[in-house]
Structure 1
């Protein structure tokens, strides 16, 4: 007797029916060939490029689409159930029928309960969100992920099909553009598809996913790191030796005269921006900068022995900070010796530093709390900071309009989803709920069936 959701007997039946086997191959090819031809690779090359684990999933996308096809001589599920349905369990018969009648769609994931369930909201229809029972996928999916899959009712609950594709943000954009083009919809038209339209668009989902994933695999993007000035990040460690006879106190007195050098003790200064940057040179890369008291930390200065140590994260800031230091203490310091490190070199240096021992080692629970406190402070300041994704408005300003609220919701989902990507650690555990509450968006954070 077949197991629940076991397709082995159905596959054997298709294999014995020559014209149905050919039709299955044609539908699978419809899902795969546009991308394979565009990137000039074959199916073996696709497996090598993306990994064997995706070969079965991609074939499954075509197979599930094939089960829904109606030909002049009928549908394969109807034919199989008529001839061999007596061999299948009631659940299996229901499962095949649900695959026959259920379209693939794009869903947003929320309320993930690992190993148990998740809530899926259909982004291409006005259907209410549903809670899906699922064990394996819920162990890897995170809040606000987007997935293409078939959702099916099973007795008193919902399940998903086996062919699930996780969609990156760029794949979502590619898919939506492809659907609009295929259905001849204008950009301003609401993308709300009927079941019939979704049924006919199944290959577009696979193609959109493949185009993005193959492109990423062939040309892996190196992350571009910039600071809030838009400068490329290159860490500059500058060592100014004190000239003969000069004391630390003398240098400190002169550094205290620089308006943007804020002392933390007698021998340490933070170089802070006079005002918040608005990212006039902002790029699409990863922005590396810290904030303190509502201002950007441009660098740090510290007196150690007979040396003034200065650290900044770009060549442009190195030039500026040297000019500031020279303007007040030029005759007290020698020309600096500068070490330049990339982000990768900085990471490598940090990885070779062993854990601190004894009293200097911070207990994990304390380190975790410190990180949580830092994130609280950072995001609280961010609520009043201009955000490029919000049209240069702060989140508090943007939520005052209906269109702004939608942008803030998407921005919050992006933050929350990105933070959840690491599997463990304090960032993954961070609860963004207070931010939704603070902005009056709690009712938009989650959907339940």
Structure 2
């Protein structure tokens, strides 16, 4: 006896019935060819590039589209059910008929119950969110993910079809760009498509996903790291040997006179700068900097033996701190020896170090709580900090206007989604709910 989603008999029927096999191949090609031709690869190359697991999904996108196609001599689902439907279970017959009439769309995922269900909101219509029963996908999808799929009614509930594509933000933008231009929509005007429009543009969803994923696979994006000054991160470890007969005490006395060097003991200083708005030089990269309550930590200085060790994270800061040190203690120190490391080299060095054991090791529960406390403090400060994605406004400022609220909602969803996709560590478990409440947007977190 067949089960729902078992398409083996339907496929066998398509292979035997005249032009239907060629028609299926044509529809699948319509989904794949624009991207394949653009990037000059074939289907075998596509599988090698993206992985075999996507070959079946992409074929499924075309297959499900084919089931809804109507030709002069009819529709394949109608023909199959008429001739061979007696072999299928009632549930399978209903599924094929529903799949035939259901368009693909772009959905936002929320309220994920792993192994059980999730809520999907159609981003291309004003329909109310739908709870779907789902086992497999709910074990990997996260809050605010975007997916293209068909939501199929089944008796008293809904399920999703087998061809599901997870959409990155770039793919969403790519998908929206064409229809928005065609319909001449204004910037703030929502893109809305009716059922017939969605049924007719299914290949566009697949093409949008492919264009972004192939491009990423061919040109992997290297993360860009900057500091709060907007400088590219390049770690500089500077070693200033003490001059002959110079003691640590004499050097320390001079360093204590520098206003921006905050002592953290007799031999250690943090180099601080007052907090300021994010530099206009800062782009979309990842910012690497430590923050204290009212200041940014630009670097550190430490006296060890006959050496002053200085650590900063950019060439610009290395030049500045060397000038500060030379101005206050130049005769006491020799010229520095500098080691420069990239972020990748720093990571490699950290991985090669032996893990601490015994009394110095922080218990996992305490380490987790410390990280949670740090995240609370960081995000509480973020609510009052200028955010480039919000036009340089703070979340609190932006949330005061209707347009700003929409931007803040998308920003919160982005934060929450990126956190959830960090599959390990405290950040993956962090609850952003309090931020929605703090900004008065809790009713939009559904």
TM bin (shorter chain): over 0.9
1:160 corresponds to 2:169? no
Structure 2 Cα separation of the partners of residues 419 and 377 of structure 1: 16
Q: Partners of 2:445 and 2:306 in 1: how far apart?
A: 55
Alignment of 1:392-431 (within 5 A): 392-431=392-431
* Counterparts in 2 of 1:413 and 1:107: CA distance versus 1, 3 Å: same
Aligned to 2:76: 76
Matches within 5 A, 1:270-419: 270-419=270-419
Q: 1:396 to 1:225 in 2, by over 3 A?
A: same
* Contact 1:120/1:129, CA 8 A, preserved across alignment: yes
1:43-442 to 2 correspondence within 5 Å?
43-181=43-181, 185=185, 187=187, 189-442=189-442
Structure 1 residues 202-240: Cα deviation after superposition (integer angstroms, max 9, x where no partner): 000000000011111111122221112221111000111
Q: Which runs of 5+ in 1 are unaligned?
A: none
Report the TM-score, using the length of structure 2 for normalisation.
Answer: 0.97
Residues 186/390 of structure 1: CA separation in 2 closer, same or farther (3 Å cut): closer
- Match of 2:19, SS? helix
CA positional deviation for 1:184: 5.8
Instruction: Tell me by how many angstroms 1:190 deviates.
Output: 2.6
Residues 274 and 294 of structure 2 are in contact (CA less than 8 Å); yes or no, is this contact kept in structure 1? no
Give the conservation status (yes or no) of the 8 Å contact 1:179–1:201: no
> Could you say which residue in structure 2 is the equivalent of 1:18?
18
Residue deviations 1:161-200, cap 9 Å, x none?
0000000110100000123245565555430110111111
Q: For residues 200 and 185 of structure 1, do their structure 2 counterparts lie closer, same or farther at Cα, with a shift above 3 Å needed?
A: farther
Tell me the equivalent position of 2:33. Answer: 33
User: Is the CA contact (8 Å cut-off) linking 1:294 and 1:381 kept in structure 2?
Assistant: no
Instruction: Kindly state the Cα deviation for residue 293 of structure 1 after the two structures are TM-superposed.
Output: 1.0
Alpha-carbon distance in structure 2 between the residues aligned to 1:173 and 1:6: 34
Q: Distance in 1 between matches of 2:52 and 2:183?
A: 33
2:210 is paired with a residue of what secondary structure? Answer: helix
Q: Name the SS of the counterpart of 1:270 in structure 2.
A: strand
Give the drift of 1:246. 2.4
* Cα distance in structure 1, aligned partners of 2:62 and 2:19: 16
> Deviation at 1:362?
1.1
What is the CA–CA distance in structure 2 between the aligned matches of 1:25 and 1:294, rounded to whole Å? 63
Instruction: Find the aligned partners of 2:187 and 2:34 in 1 and give their Cα distance.
Output: 24
Report the alpha carbon displacement of residue 292 of structure 1 after superposing the two structures with TM: 1.2
Q: CA deviation at 1:384?
A: 1.1
Contact conserved, 2:277 with 2:385, CA < 8 A, in 1?
no
Q: How big is each residue's C-alpha offset from its partner over 1:114-162, in whole Å with a ceiling of 9 and x where there is no partner?
A: 1111111111100111111111111111111110000111112111000
Distance in structure 2 (CA, Å) of the matches to 1:266 and 1:400: 48
State the 1:252 CA deviation: 2.0
3-state DSSP of counterpart to 2:249: helix
1:394-418 deviation digits (Å, cap 9, x = unpaired): 1111111111111111111111111
TM-score computed with the length of structure 1 as normaliser: 0.97
Whether the aligned pair in 2 keeps the contact of 1:112 and 1:141 (CA below 8 Å) is yes
CA distance in 1, matches of 2:378, 2:271: 18
SS state of the match for residue 273, structure 1? strand
Pairwise CA distance, 1:283: 1.8
Please, which moves more after superposition, 251-260 or 52-61?
251-260
Deviations 1:319-368 (A, max 9, x none): 00111111111122111111000001000000011111110111111111
How many residues align? The count is 446
| Contact persistence 2:240–2:333 (CA under 8 A) | yes
Return the alpha-carbon distance in structure 2 between the equivalents of residues 436 and 346 of structure 1: 36
Q: Distance in 2 between matches of 1:379 and 1:53?
A: 37
Please, which runs of 5 or more residues in structure 2 have no aligned partner?
A: none
CA distance in 1, matches of 2:183, 2:388: 32
Report the Cα distance in structure 1 between the residues aligned to 2:19 and 2:333, rounded to whole angstroms.
86
Alpha-carbon distance between aligned partners in 2 of 1:397 and 1:420, rounded to the nearest angstrom: 26
* Displacement over 3 Å in runs of 4+: 181-189
